[in-house]
Amino acid sequence: MNIVATTTETPPLQATSGFPPEYFLNREIGLLAFNRRVLWQARNPRTPLLERLRFLCIVSSNLDEFFEIRVAGVKEQLKLNSVAITTDGKTAREVYRLVSEETHALVKEQYQLLNEEILPQLATEGIRFVKRSEWNEAQREWIKGFFFREVMPVITPIGLDPSHPFPRVLNKSLNFAVELEGRDAFGRSSGAAIVQAPRVLPRVIRLPRELGDVEYAFVFLSSILHEFVHELFSGMKVLGCYQFRVTRNSDLFVDEEEVKNLRAKIQGELPQRHFGDAVRLEIANNCSEAMTQFLLGQFNLTESDLYRVAGPVNLVRLMQVPDWVLRNDLKFVPFTPGTPKALQKCHSVFDSIRGGDILLHHPYQSFNPVIELLDQAATDPQVVAIRMTVYRTGTDSVLMQSLLRAAQNGKEVTVVVELMARFDEEANIGWATKLEEVGAHVVYGVVGYKTHAKMLMIVRREEGKAGSSILRRYVHLGTGNYHPKTARLYSDFGLLTCNEEIGADTNEVFKQLTGLGRAQTLTHLWQAPFSLQPNVVAAIRAEAEAARAGKRARIIAKMNSLLEPETIATLYEASQAGVKIDLIVRGVCGLRAGVKDLSENISVRSIIGRQLEHHRIFYFYAGGEEKVYLSSADWMERNFFRRIELAFPVLDRKLKRRVIAEGLQIYLTDNTLAWELGPDGTYHQRRGSRTSPHSSQAELIELLQAS
């Protein structure tokens, strides 16, 4: 089995959608446009200052993954001379040129914002990043001591000569290229050396309060190394020291025809992810031209892959600073998530669920009921079995601890662990190992299809009619991961139910994942890769038919991404039939909105704020029935055809009205966080009146937080 970059070729678009390529927007450019909207939050003076710094770091984190996966894929196509055409009709070479131009402009603006606005304003608030030229004598002595005590013992400088070739540089690690003059103890004079900063070293160090003239004084590790790098090369003259960082292809692709042991193969290949092909080189803007060309040659990169930056090459490491600084006046106002009344009445979550379906709206409502449900199930003598999917759950998950405890208590525990959850593979392998050690059944889904559905099913023996006993299924289905930390940051819905038909459907999906057999027709759930996309397309077409018949028709959908060509084409046809369609797409959207005679009845908006918009909601008027589905899936080819995903209906009328109000309508009235997509493919911020501003996230906090 080989693990290589994915190079899936896309067939010519018109053959699959019926619409020409110019009616579609480019995925890579759309992702960069999304990051521009995030960068605007860092630019917005109404955003609290430390949160502006955090948004700036989020852009860098997003760009890291963009290069590791998306740009790496484009460069792989260039290497293979691929003739594949994107959905908007572009070749890989055209895409790469556009991406390079836009990303260079975006990074330049990012560092300008950091240096000209955010850092100076932080300094006025007593939060300073002290430059080397600003160190006073006392600070310099403390920093020097820190260097000799904490830094020098763990650093290994590598002089470049025939016996010391250029070292293997880890993906996204901090490194320094040093230009030298003179000869060492052995008479060698290579003129250059590489210093790799170990990942155990902090990139930002806070100075003791008594040494600073402000409350929070920080110094960069890069500044310390620049100042004392000569100590690593005794007797030689340092001509220059330049920080650099290389980003590598980090995608994993499993050859499913050869796989025998998925877990063992991934576990063996994961360390190589740090040494994939280089796709980007970031260097300090003071780096000499000779050293720049030398580094580009070492990584087999060109000028278009080079990013000269005016500051730290890794802004992601500044993400921790807002957490270190105890200044609530410079952060978003905190709130305490609320709890539905149905869960406040009973100590037992099982009793509450039997009283009726329960809807949880995170992060405005607490994720604790899900934690408590699994915690109670682990020790409840009436619980006989637990089944759960794990995609992203973190390295210190209380949910996984409950599963371990349940298995130790003799429950029949089955966990479907997705080993190919990007960048969470190692954590998931760790949990799989621990679960197996206590006797849980661990399976890895279906090779070739990521298990992305969010399902938890608990089977409990309870008293039935006339004193008989029955087995009742309690189910949690969600739009987001079983990850308590992200549940405080991402907007998601979760449904708790003991509806027999939904329980039976969920059980059937688990049977598919753990055993063998043909897919059965499900009563309520739409499942990828079988029925989800056909049912979405059919529901859109049903609205179009209603509109053509002169009946009321309406579609509202919220998701992270919209790219699947047939779904987009069907939306265009529905718009032409007269269906009013509102789409709330946080990230990339391949559909052109508001184009006359094509999509003039379609609006697309993106909501960017303090919470990451993550839930997927599909609303169809359906002749007045108003069908509402919640889902783990975006409208993308990968979600529809290469993943195991679910969309589940909200059957309770009151909960359905809640989803429509809290998950859709409130976003359609937002005039503070909303960006609207124009026919030309660009986004414009929706401006509201000063007298009646509407912020969907602020209003949801006010509505649902604990009183």
Q: How many CB atoms lie within 10 A of CB 58?
A: 19
Rounded distance between C-alpha atoms, residue 299 and residue 309, angstroms = 18
Q: How far is CA 186 from CA 66, 89, 159, 235, in A?
A: 45, 59, 12, 12
Phi and psi torsions of 387, nearest 5°: -130, 140
Ordered DSSP codes for 56-92: HHHHHHHHHHIIIIIIHHHHHHHHTT-----TTS--H
Asked whether the beta carbons of 130 and 204 are under 8 A apart, the reply is: no
| CA 365 to chain CA mean position, Å | 21
Single out the catalytic residue among 362, 452, 476, 694. Answer: 452
| b/e code 302-312 from CB counts within 10 Å (16+ = b) | eeebbbbbebb
Nearest alpha carbon to residue 590 among 607, 565, 572, 558? 565
271: Cβ–Cβ under 8 A, 6 or more apart, which residues?
none
Residue 416, number of CB atoms within 10 A of its CB: 23
Tokens read off for 619: 């609303």
3 state DSSP class of 300: coil
Torsion of CA 558, 563, 564, 568, to 10 degrees: 70
Q: Which own/partner pairs from 523-527 qualify as long-range (CB within 8 Å, at least 24 positions apart)? A: 524/648, 524/649, 524/651, 525/646, 525/647, 525/648, 526/629, 526/631, 526/646, 526/647, 526/648, 527/453, 527/644, 527/645, 527/646, 527/647
Pairing of strands 580-585, 554-559: parallel
Query: Rounded to whole angstroms, what are the CA distances from 424 to 6, 270, 483, 587?
Result: 18, 11, 12, 21
Distance CA 452, CA 385 (A): 22
How far is CA 147 from each of CA 153, 220, 321, 420, 652, rounded to the nearest angstrom? Answer: 9, 12, 21, 40, 63
Distance CA 40, CA 302 (A): 30
For residue 351, the tally of other CB atoms under 10 A from its CB is 12
> What are 83's two structure tokens?
């003739």
Check residue 484 and report its DSSP letter: T
Q: Tell me the pairing of strands 383-390 and 412-417.
A: parallel
Q: Is 362 annotated as catalytic?
A: no
Closest CA to 432 of 459, 380, 393, 458: 393
Q: Which of these, 113, 169, 199, 201, lies nearest to 282 by C-alpha position? A: 169
SS3 656: helix
Residue with tokens 């990230």: 587
> Which candidate, 530, 378, 520, places its Cα nearest to that of 453?
530
Residues annotated as part of the active site: 452
